[in-house]
Structure 1
C-alpha cells in the first residue's frame, strides 16, 4: 500500500468508493497491489463501452495521450472523473509526457484538473473533471 507523503492509501487519494463504475486502462500490474484496502476488486480490463464514474488511465507518450483522451472523456458520466497517470522524471522509463502536457491535453478537451497525487515512486496522477458550467 502506498502512503508516500500524505499518509493516505492510494485508494483514498484516488477517491475510490464502493459502487462506483471504474475502468483502469494500461495500468502496470503492481498498481492493483496498491489497492488492497479497497473492498471491490478492480479489473485491468477497460470497460469504456459504458459510462464510468472514474477512469484511471496510464500513459507513456504524448501521441497516445492526445489520441486517447477524447475517448476517455466520452466514456465518463457528466459528473465523472479521469485520472491520467504518467512516469515521473526519476522513473526508469523516459517519456515525452509531463504534468504540463497532460494539463494542456485536458484543457484542450474542455476539462479542468483539480488534484495531483503521487501514485508510487514511478508514477504521478492528475485528476480531471468536466467544469460545472459544462455538465
Structure 2
C-alpha cells in the first residue's frame, strides 16, 4: 500500500479553505498536489475548514490558539505542528506540553501524525 501524502494525512478535502500559519520555507513542496479548488491562506481572515499552525514555543502556541478561535468553522480541523525531538529546529515545546495546555484551554487532542522528518502534528478539536 503506498504511503499517504501529507495532504491526505492532514485530511485536506476538495474546496477547503486552508490556513497555513508560520509555515517553514519550501513547505508547499512537501504538501505536494492539493485537492481540487483548495484555497490556501497565510493570514487568519475569515472562516477556514482546516488550519495548520507551525509552532516552536509555548508562547507561539498560545498566541495562535487565541487568534484561531474566531477563524475556525465549527467542523474545522486544527493541526498544531511542532518540531520532532530529533529535528534540528530549536524549540521549547513538545507533544506533552501541547496536550497539557490545550486540554486546559478548551481543546481536545484527537490525532497525532508525522508530517515529515522534521515535523509532527497534533489534531485538535474544540470542546
Distance 2:114 2:102 in 1: 19
2:18 corresponds to which of 15, 22, 33: 22
1:94 maps to which residue? 90
Distance 2:40 2:64 in 1: 19
CA contact (8 A) 1:83 1:127 kept: yes
SS in 1 for 2:92: coil
TM-score (norm 1): 0.83
Deviation at 1:41, TM superposition (A): 6.0
Runs of 4+ in 1 over 4 A off after TM superposition: none
2:109 maps to which residue? 113
Between structures 1 and 2, the one with greater strand share: 2
CA contact (8 A) 2:58 2:93 kept: yes
Distance 2:39 2:86 in 1: 27
Provide the alpha-carbon RMSD of the alignment. Answer: 1.8
SS in 2 for 1:11: helix
TM-score (norm 2): 0.88
1:66 maps to which residue? 62
